Chain A
Amino acid sequence: MDTASDESVRKHVRVYVTVFVALMALTIITVTISTLHLDTTTAIIVALSIAALKASLVAAYFMHLISEKKLIYAALTLTAVLFLALMLLPVSHFADRGL
């Protein structure tokens, strides 16, 4: 039993190392792209997409969200909805002012 669980942890470790390499590569890519000084809209879309990808890797593998229980997913879904509402507040403010 112990040997089996050891083997599964070792598999995890290999994944952690791969994710680490991916995170480093994405950091280099995002910094390199920022030196190109793209127009603001493109720069925001590219930088935030890379950040979202990095965050997903951390959440999925380091925080084990890829195999978590339903209740945790439910709590995080609610959090995501409320977070989205917070992010949309500035948009509604400017829509209200007709900008």
Chain B
Amino acid sequence: MEIPYTVQPRPDTGVYNAKLGIWLFLASEVMLFGALFSSYVLLRVGATTWPHGYEHLNIPLATVNTVVLISSSVTMVMSWASLAMKNLRRYRLYMGSTVALACVFLVIKGFEYGAKFEHGLYPGGSTFLAIYFTLTGLHALHIVGGIVVNSYLLGPGSAMWKTDPARFTNRVEIAGLYWHFVDLVWIFLFPVLYLL
């Protein structure tokens, strides 16, 4: 059975089905992270003392990670644009860069976590550390999810380019929407946890 509206927009929604699907999923993700940000505000306002992020956290490393993640968002959107211009070689280059940058982000995050553990700073140490590890840990899991999907689209999944290029281009656009959302969450996490 053929899946309907993978390329053509559905007349009543105006978009192809996967695009509506990913936006509804991202809406649920907004509520997931929103609940955690809301908890953060509640905990911070209710606390008698609250450490500044820069007292405990490594701002230079987090700044580098911000640059890495924003760059990966650009390479992701460029990979889609390359497919739209029917250039598979350039697509592979940009998508490969996206996956590589995502891995760099995780390695830097790993160093950050490692330094915390070395100093005996664990999630149970304080309310600040608990919310820091919860938010950044959940975000890191999203990065892992993105790496899995993007690696598939870079490797075996790209076989679809030969059989159904328009559908494959849409798949990359959908994966991109997810990836930009992960970038967007970090854009808020960085100042909230590190700079304030």
Contact = CB atoms under 8 A, between A and B. Distances in A.
A20 to B, nearest CB: 5
B15 A20 contact: no
B195 A87 contact: no
Interface of A: 2, 5-6, 9-10, 12-13, 16-17, 19-20, 23-24, 27, 30-31, 34, 40, 43-44, 47-48, 50-51, 54-55, 58-59, 62-63, 69-72, 75-76, 78-79, 82-83, 86-87, 89-90, 93-94
Given A20-B70, A69-B14, A13 B187 contact: no
B63 interface: yes
Given A47-B196, A54-B187, A12 B42 contact: no
A9 B196 CA distance: 39
A96 to B, nearest CB: 12
Q: Closest 6 interchain pairs by CB?
A: A47-B191, A69-B14, A34-B195, A90-B42, A79-B27, A86-B34
B167 to A, nearest CB: 17
Given A19-B74, A58-B73, 5 more contacts: A5-B84, A62-B74, A72-B23, A76-B23, A87-B34
A90 B191 contact: no
B23 A75 contact: yes
B178 to A, nearest CB: 10
Interface string B67-110: 10011011011100100111000000000000000000000000
7 contacts: A47-B191, A69-B9, A69-B13, A71-B14, A72-B20, A83-B31, A94-B45
Dominant SS at the B interface? helix
Interface residues of B, number: 49
Interface of B: 9, 13-15, 19-20, 23-24, 27, 30-31, 34-35, 37-38, 41-42, 45-46, 54, 59, 63, 66-67, 70-71, 73-74, 76-78, 81, 84-86, 176-177, 180-181, 183-184, 187-188, 190-192, 194-196
Given A24-B70, A27-B70, A58-B73, A89 B42 contact: yes
B80 to A, nearest CB: 9
Contacts of A86: 31, 34-35, 37-38
Q: Which of B14, B77, B181, B190 has the most CB of A within 10 A?
A: B77
Contact of B84 (A9, A24, A71): A9
A9 to B, nearest CB: 5
Nearest to A59: B184
B81 A16 contact: yes
B104 to A, nearest CB: 16
